[in-house]
Amino acid sequence: MSVVNIQEKFELFTDLWSPKKIGELNGQQILLAKIKGEFVFHKHDNEDELFMVKKGVLEMHLHDKIVTINEGEFYIVPKGVEHKPVAKEEVHILLFEPLTTKHTGDVVADITVDTYESI
């Protein structure tokens, strides 16, 4: 394993809502994604999901509140909690989640990705 430069990895892609795998450890995957606009409400019944904002401001819409995640901050969505990421401007995020986590959880949508590209 060599050192991974996260910023250099972000420069390798431009597509939105399509996470890229940059590593794995202990049954977890490390993903990068660029997002803009609204995702779909979904949940992961058996997995927590960590969202770390590397650039921009991410809103995490829950049914009872909106959590604002600023650059340099992270938020963990507990398993079973419906959530919808929203980015008014382009946001770059780093995600930690189990290898078994499905992109859009229990929902299949046009933006669903079945297999993450490794970069």
pTM of the model as a whole:
0.86
CA nearest neighbour of 85 among 36, 48, 12, 45: 36
Query: How distant is the alpha carbon of residue 118 from its chain centre?
Result: 15
pLDDT in tens, 38-83: 988 988 888 888 999 999 999 999 999 999 999 999 999 999 999 9
Up-side HSE of residue 105: CA atoms within 13 Å toward CB? Answer: 22
**Superfamily for 6-118?**
Jelly Rolls (2.60.120.10)
Could you tell me which residues come within 8 angstroms of residue 110 by beta carbon, excluding any fewer than 6 positions away?
A: none
pLDDT in tens, 10-26: 999 999 999 999 999 99
Overall average pLDDT of the 99-112 stretch: 60
Give the pLDDT confidence score for residue 80 in this predicted structure: 94
Give the pLDDT confidence score for residue 116 in this predicted structure: 79
